[in-house]
Structure 1
Amino acid sequence: MSQRALGAIGAALALSLALSSCGLLRDLTDAEDEPPPQENSEQAQEDPAPELPYTRQGRMFVEDGNDVAFEVVINALESNGEYMMIDVTHNILEPLPGTVTSTVAPIRMVDPLSGEVLRVLNNEEHGENYGTYFEEGDPFLPTHEGLPLPMRRYFPAPSEDVQTLTFTGSGLGYVPGIPITHVDEFTQAPEPNVYDHIDPHTWEQGELPEEIFYPEDVPEPGLDVAPYRQSMESFVDSPTASTTRSGDQETIALHSDNMFEVDEADPTDEAAETIRRTAASLRENLAQGTEITVIGHTDSTGSHSHNQTLSQERAQAARELIEEELGEGFTFATEGRGADELLAQEGEDDDEEARARNRRVEFFYEVPMEATDSQDTEGLEAAQRHVADPAPYFEEMDVHTTVSHNDIDLNVYPLVRDGAYLFQVVGFQNATLSDLEADLEGDEARLPGSPAQYAEGTMGGFRLEEADSGLIRYVIRISTGEEEYEDFADEIHTLSPGEEYLALAVFPAPAAEVTEMTLYAGAFGEIPRIPIQ
């Protein structure tokens, strides 16, 4: 059998694994490195952010339980106005266990102010990522213990006014405050020497030098990068209203039970106050001349024609109230959608709450993409924007608290405020002596009537609550296409004994004066007073 079949194959490890979301390891040496010591995280936060390179360590998660400690060093992040290039070095810190299949969170570069998510560009000719390769069109790279693996990948360029981005993925938690260098041309990569030492046909190696360099596939100008620019969708909920924000689109949903009597379209006395607060939010959020679409929804009780008529009449009644309150300067449209767009699944144990969730009147509009912090205190709390400065780079944090469920310990780290978002890192740790599947779905702590799309996956049941206001902030979703989304929360599967597997969940940020939150961590239950850094 060939050495390639016998060895474990490296798929652009850690970072490269994350960039292609999965791959194989290949062990070509027997050298071992000890992980470097970690700095005190609190002291690192107090000091000015250092210049690149930035370093993060974690465990490479693999499906069969064979995993290793690894390190990613971020050397440079350059933008030429059309594309952005990340240059990293990957180091394996433990002996490779053999042939394994690795699955890790995909790499994303995030603008924490605008909520734009940049994904790695793919060469459509052969279906693999642009950047470093060993065999063009093949995702696998030879990987060596104790020998640094240089790696480049390409993204769409951010806006010119963006100075730093946040790196997420690859089981490293996340890295904020990565500075962007704006260049006319990317820094030239070293001349490849890999073929002088490793045969590309047999993958047999000779004596390896101290550094190995690979060729790279650089994207040609003029690529369509729109599919690789994505936006984050946030959802903030209160007993009166909820707000969904995705890119430049925003929807305020008022719960109909607070606005109308059962099966009626005449607003109640309480509706006037709710509309007044909604108008205050709209004045702050919108530019003059914006079109506001008022949309009525019902639950699935009743016939289609009845629901359609009721939803249209309620939308018209809400429009008349908001138009009177706002005055001139905006245009309006109304729609009735009956029970065609249910948010919560009806017919389950929480049927009553689900139907109440589905009965709503929405105000849909486009907002400027500029990141602005809400100053108004008269509007709906759920519709306020809270935007801080981007977080600076810092070393790893200390665990805040640990909770357990079914032989799995959950290490909970402090929340970090980064722009308009909160980044929550947790560590899953197997407390047994054998491999363990992290089956954490079936959130007993899920709120009755919660929107179905926010309660799926390992961390999909996670949510944050403000103690004073009672506002609920759900895990961010990323819009990946027409009506297609993925949670901005990592998945965890097989856990090896004793090792910690870092995972990330992202939430919309609260007001600046909020310094701690309650985390509802799915099957792990309620964890109060998580501090915000």
Structure 2
Amino acid sequence: MREVERLADRSVLHFTVTSLEDEPRHTGNAFGTAAGDFGSYRIPLVDPVGGKVYHPLTDQIGTLGSKPGYYEPGVRYETVVYYPPLPAGVRTVTAITPGTAGEFTGVPVVDGTGSGSAMSPTTAPGSTPQPGTTVSWPVREPTGEVTSSVQDLYGITESPEKTTDASGGDETVGLRTDVLFAFDSDRLTARAKAVLDDVAKETREKADPDRPPILIEGHTDGKGTHAYNMALSLRRAEAVRKELQAHLGGAYRYRATGKGETEPVAREGGADDEDARARNRRVEISYRIKQPTGGSTASETEETRADEPTTGGGRPAPFHADDGETVAGRTTTQKPTGQRLRIDAKPFYRDGAYLVAVFDIVNLGPRALGAGTGYGGDIAYIGGWYTGFSVVDPASHTVYRAVRMGPDDPHGPDDYVDPGWATFNVEPGTGNRGFFYVPAPPPGITSVTFDAGPFGRFDNIPVR
């Protein structure tokens, strides 16, 4: 990874790729996604301070930029990918590559003239470049309409009473109805009033009254009839609305709805059925967040260095090629297949407003893994390959879950800040480097607990 060149109409990621194989190999979807995008470089750019992700520009054919072909052994291929224009205040980004190379932190963003963005091959047509030479892929011109995509990053945190799903633009607070109501009741308990008092204070600090409404949605588990669940969820949402309105007054507008059992956040019917049902019984409070007004922020000034803290989070992480020594590990045997896997946790590290969990998962046999093998768990964060894993603050017991790209889509899979696939090397004796982003715990926390799903929990994982 070299740099991102910021232009008036686009941004250009510059990097080189060198094949370490002994014979020519086609790119396939080595830089695409689990769903395909063959022959393209599908590499999101994450602003870890501003909480944004910039996806490559696409047209009706695919990703815009270099058009790769066969990699000759030992040849350096100069490559570019096009993105939407990055804001002037963004000085460093993280490139999220699919595969075991994973995240490239600390990629500098420089202002450019565009002279180096359109590259042409340096070899004659039909000739074969020799090992040790540097050539450039041809750049494909767009065909038809060009699509641009920039998304907020959403951090998910959980406590025994609530789950918070927040970005820089909006926030959803999910309250467990087991905390708010007695069984089959829509009357708030005494404990609920104290919980909602805290929620009201937070809402007053964050919610923008000029971008209404505050939306209150009731949800049930899958027991009972659809009609009964819809009615109960609406009554509970109305009870929460009235209590919030009593605290916040008439400066805000509100809307209460009931969703019944139609939008679960956990899969019911499994080994953890009771916990899954408890997660699904909830009332969600959503609002748009106030935006800062007036004055310049640190991220908007040209004097801000890439290694200095800016608005939205801590310092962007510099690039480091070495993950460090294994700090914890464990072997698990899957039932009923008898497949054995080992996870080796590395030190975690901060990248802006996020914490990066890093680990290796090794296949100990006796058979090959499926290329789609993931670790999603029973929580319905569909689309992430490690959403069954989490990071826990041992002092507050706050749970930090995988960072999502864009708002939740209740009807389809979401994308998360991870490699886009969990298992690339499938044969026994091979391993895969994994990582995922979670919201960063408070700055003073120097070690965390790693909940690695089927592998168990690991205490005292250092945060560097």
TM-score by length of 2: 0.81
In the alignment, which residue of structure 2 is the partner of 1:115?
Answer: 51
In the alignment, which residue of structure 1 is the partner of 2:111?
Answer: 182
Could you tell me whether the CA contact under 8 Å between 2:374 and 2:423 is conserved in 1? no
Partner Cα distance (1:422, 1:519) in 2: 12
In the alignment, which residue of structure 2 is the partner of 1:413?
Answer: 346
Partner Cα distance (2:343, 2:105) in 1: 23
What are the equivalent positions in structure 2 for 1:45-64 lying under 5 Å apart? none
In structure 2, the CA distance between the partners of 1:431 and 1:329, relative to structure 1 (3 Å rule), is same
In structure 2, the CA distance between the partners of 1:75 and 1:487, relative to structure 1 (3 Å rule), is closer
In the TM superposition, what whole-angstrom CA distance separates every residue of 1:23-48 from its partner, at most 9, and x where no partner exists? xxxxxxxxxxxxxxxxxxxxxxxxxx
Which sections of structure 2, spanning at least 5 residues, go unmatched? Answer: 34-41, 298-310, 334-339
Amino acid at match of 2:249: G
In the alignment, which residue of structure 1 is the partner of 2:381?
Answer: 453
Matched, 1:342 2:264: yes
In the alignment, which residue of structure 1 is the partner of 2:288?
Answer: 366
Partner Cα distance (2:140, 2:24) in 1: 30
In the TM superposition, what whole-angstrom CA distance separates every residue of 1:386-430 from its partner, at most 9, and x where no partner exists? 832322333423123252335544332211211221112222334
Partner Cα distance (1:433, 1:347) in 2: 30
Query: Which SS does the other structure have where 1:324 is aligned?
Result: helix
Deviation at 1:158, TM superposition (A): 2.3
In the alignment, which residue of structure 1 is the partner of 2:356?
Answer: 423
Deviation at 1:270, TM superposition (A): 0.8
Could you tell me whether the CA contact under 8 Å between 2:208 and 2:287 is conserved in 1? no
Could you tell me whether the CA contact under 8 Å between 1:236 and 1:473 is conserved in 2? yes
In structure 2, the CA distance between the partners of 1:254 and 1:480, relative to structure 1 (3 Å rule), is closer
Could you tell me whether the CA contact under 8 Å between 1:465 and 1:471 is conserved in 2? yes
Deviation at 1:167, TM superposition (A): 1.0
Matched, 1:521 2:452: yes
In structure 2, the CA distance between the partners of 1:470 and 1:148, relative to structure 1 (3 Å rule), is same
Query: Which SS does the other structure have where 1:121 is aligned?
Result: strand
Partner Cα distance (2:312, 2:90) in 1: 18
Deviation at 1:184, TM superposition (A): 4.4
Could you tell me whether the CA contact under 8 Å between 2:123 and 2:129 is conserved in 1? no
In structure 2, the CA distance between the partners of 1:213 and 1:419, relative to structure 1 (3 Å rule), is closer
Amino acid at match of 1:520: D
Could you tell me whether the CA contact under 8 Å between 1:429 and 1:495 is conserved in 2? no
Amino acid at match of 2:112: V
What are the equivalent positions in structure 2 for 1:287-326 lying under 5 Å apart? 287-291=208-212, 292-326=214-248
Could you tell me whether the CA contact under 8 Å between 2:119 and 2:139 is conserved in 1? no
In structure 2, the CA distance between the partners of 1:79 and 1:169, relative to structure 1 (3 Å rule), is same
Q: Which range moves more in the overlay, 358-367 or 113-122?
A: 113-122
Matched, 1:257 2:257: no
Could you tell me whether the CA contact under 8 Å between 1:176 and 1:392 is conserved in 2? yes
CA RMSD of aligned residues (A): 3.3
Amino acid at match of 2:80: R
Amino acid at match of 1:180: V
In the TM superposition, what whole-angstrom CA distance separates every residue of 1:335-355 from its partner, at most 9, and x where no partner exists? 122222222223333332222
In the alignment, which residue of structure 1 is the partner of 2:303?
Answer: none
In the alignment, which residue of structure 1 is the partner of 2:319?
Answer: 393
Matched, 1:130 2:73: no
What are the equivalent positions in structure 2 for 1:129-168 lying under 5 Å apart? 129-133=63-67, 140-168=68-96
TM-score by length of 1: 0.71
Amino acid at match of 1:297: H
Could you tell me whether the CA contact under 8 Å between 1:423 and 1:504 is conserved in 2? yes
In the alignment, which residue of structure 2 is the partner of 1:76?
Answer: 3
Partner Cα distance (1:99, 1:402) in 2: 37
Partner Cα distance (2:154, 2:165) in 1: 7
In structure 2, the CA distance between the partners of 1:208 and 1:363, relative to structure 1 (3 Å rule), is closer
In the alignment, which residue of structure 2 is the partner of 1:285?
Answer: 206
- The structure with more radius of gyration: 1
Could you tell me whether the CA contact under 8 Å between 1:80 and 1:183 is conserved in 2? yes
Partner Cα distance (1:246, 1:493) in 2: 31
In structure 2, the CA distance between the partners of 1:304 and 1:178, relative to structure 1 (3 Å rule), is same
In structure 2, the CA distance between the partners of 1:100 and 1:318, relative to structure 1 (3 Å rule), is closer
Partner Cα distance (1:96, 1:237) in 2: 49
Q: Percent identity?
A: 27
Partner Cα distance (1:400, 1:253) in 2: 36
Partner Cα distance (2:325, 2:350) in 1: 17
In the alignment, which residue of structure 2 is the partner of 1:12?
Answer: none
Q: 1:234 aligns with which of 145, 155, 164?
A: 155
Amino acid at match of 1:469: S
Partner Cα distance (2:431, 2:45) in 1: 24
Amino acid at match of 1:130: L
Could you tell me whether the CA contact under 8 Å between 2:25 and 2:72 is conserved in 1? no
Partner Cα distance (1:503, 1:183) in 2: 34
Could you tell me whether the CA contact under 8 Å between 1:197 and 1:207 is conserved in 2? no
In structure 2, the CA distance between the partners of 1:195 and 1:312, relative to structure 1 (3 Å rule), is same
Partner Cα distance (1:219, 1:368) in 2: 38
Amino acid at match of 1:118: Y
In the TM superposition, what whole-angstrom CA distance separates every residue of 1:83-104 from its partner, at most 9, and x where no partner exists? 1111111123353487896646
Q: Which range moves more in the overlay, 476-485 or 356-365?
A: 476-485
Amino acid at match of 1:418: D
Could you tell me whether the CA contact under 8 Å between 1:386 and 1:509 is conserved in 2? no
Amino acid at match of 2:177: S
Query: Which SS does the other structure have where 1:353 is aligned?
Result: helix
